[in-house]
Amino acid sequence: MKLSYGVATSDVKSARLPSAQGDLAGNLRTLADIGYEGVELSVWRPADLDASRLAREVAPSGLAVCCVHTAAIGFEDKLWLCHEEEAVRRAAMGRLKEAVDLAGRFGVDVAVGSFRGKLMEGEGRERSLGWMRDALREGADYAAARCLRLLLEPYNRFVTNFANGTEESAAFVRGMKHEGLGLLLDTFHMNIEDPSFGSAIYCARDRIFHMHLTDNNRMYPGTGHIPFAEVIGALKAIGYEGYLSIQIAQKPDFRTAAVRSHGHIRSLLRGGAPPSRPLLKYAKIRPFRQAATAWKKDFPQGSRKGSPAAGPPPRGEVIQVPVAFIRCQVLCLVVISILAFAGPPAQAQMREGPGQWVKKASMPIPRTEISVAELDGKMYVAGGYVPGSVTSYLLQEYDPATDKWRDRARMPLGLNHVGMVGHEGKLYVFGGFIRQNQDPVANAFVYDPKANGWKELAPLTSKRGAVALASLGGKIHLLGGAVGVGFRMRKSVNLHEVYDPAANKYASRAPLPERRDHMGLVVVDGKLHAFGGRYESFASNSNLHDVYDPKADKWTPLAPLPTARSGFAYGLVEGLIVVIGGEGMKGVFNENEAYDPKTNKWRTLISMPYPRHGTGAAVIGGVMYIPGGGPVRGGSRLTEEHEAFSLK
Q: State pLDDT tens for residues 313-332.
A: 333 333 333 433 334 444 44
3-state class (DSSP) for residue 58: helix
Higher pLDDT pick, 440 / 304: 440
In sequence order, which residues have a C-beta less than 8 Å from that of residue 468 and are 6 or more positions away?
419, 478, 479, 480, 481, 519, 520, 521, 530, 533
pLDDT computed for residue 581 by the predictor: 98
pLDDT computed for residue 238 by the predictor: 84
3-state secondary structure string across 267-315 = HHHHHCCCCCCCEEEECCCCCCCCCCCHHHHHCCCCCCCCCCCCCCCCC
Q: Is the pLDDT of residue 568 over 80?
A: yes
Mean pLDDT over residues 484-493, rounded?
80
Least reliable range by pLDDT among 44-48, 261-265, 430-434, 457-461: 44-48
pLDDT computed for residue 70 by the predictor: 82
Q: State pLDDT tens for residues 489-508.
A: 789 999 999 999 999 999 99
3-state secondary structure string across 504-547 = CEEEECCCCCCCCECCEEEEECCEEEEECCEECEEEEECCCEEE
Under the banding of pLDDT at 50, 70 and 90, the label for residue 567 is: very high
- What value does the mean pLDDT of the chain take? 83
Return the closest-CA partner of residue 5 out of 33, 36, 26, 43.
36
Q: Is the pLDDT of residue 110 over 80?
A: yes
Give 2-342's CATH code, choosing from 3.40.50.300, 3.40.50.10860, 3.30.565.10, 3.20.20.150.
Answer: 3.20.20.150
Helix (H) or strand (E) holding 31: helix 24-34
In sequence order, which residues have a C-beta less than 8 Å from that of residue 475 and are 6 or more positions away?
498, 499, 500, 501
In sequence order, which residues have a C-beta less than 8 Å from that of residue 433 and are 6 or more positions away?
391, 415, 416, 417, 439, 440, 441, 465, 466
CA dihedral (601, 602, 604, 609) positive or negative: positive
pLDDT computed for residue 299 by the predictor: 36
Give the CA-trace dihedral at 206, 207, 213, 218, to 10 degrees: -130
Q: State pLDDT tens for residues 359-415.
A: 999 999 899 999 999 999 999 999 998 876 678 899 999 999 999 999 999 999 989
pLDDT computed for residue 489 by the predictor: 72
Higher pLDDT pick, 520 / 194: 520
Query: How far apart (Å, rounded) are the C-alpha atoms in residues 537 and 519?
Result: 12
Q: State pLDDT tens for residues 126-148.
A: 887 888 888 888 888 888 888 88
Under the banding of pLDDT at 50, 70 and 90, the label for residue 80 is: low
Q: State pLDDT tens for residues 592-607.
A: 999 999 999 999 999 9
Q: Is the pLDDT of residue 461 over 70?
A: yes
93 class by beta-carbon count within 10 Å (0-12 exposed, 13-18 middle, 19+ buried): middle
pLDDT computed for residue 89 by the predictor: 80
DSSP of 77-134: H---TT-SSHHHHHHHHHHHHHHHHHHHHHT-EEEESGGG--PPSTTHHHHHHHHHHH
pLDDT computed for residue 382 by the predictor: 97
Q: Is the pLDDT of residue 298 over 80?
A: no
pLDDT computed for residue 285 by the predictor: 28
517 residue type, one letter: D
Find out whether the peptide bond into 312 is cis, omega within 30 degrees of 0: no
Mean pLDDT over residues 201-216, rounded?
90
- For the chain, the distance separating the N- and C-terminal CA atoms, rounded to the nearest angstrom, is 46
DSSP summary character for residue 635: S
Higher pLDDT pick, 349 / 628: 628
Range list for CATH 3.20.20.150 in the chain: 2-342
Range list for CATH 2.120.10.80 in the chain: 356-646
pLDDT computed for residue 14 by the predictor: 63
Query: How far apart (Å, rounded) are the C-alpha atoms in residues 49 and 340?
Result: 34
Least reliable range by pLDDT among 225-229, 458-462, 510-514: 225-229
Q: Strand pairing of 319-322 and 623-627?
A: unpaired
Helix (H) or strand (E) holding 192: helix 187-193
pLDDT computed for residue 16 by the predictor: 64
pLDDT computed for residue 335 by the predictor: 38
Superfamily of domain 356-646: Kelch-type beta propeller (2.120.10.80)
The length of the chain, given as a count of residues: 648
Q: Is the pLDDT of residue 96 over 80?
A: yes
pLDDT computed for residue 216 by the predictor: 86
pLDDT computed for residue 57 by the predictor: 85
Under the banding of pLDDT at 50, 70 and 90, the label for residue 180 is: confident
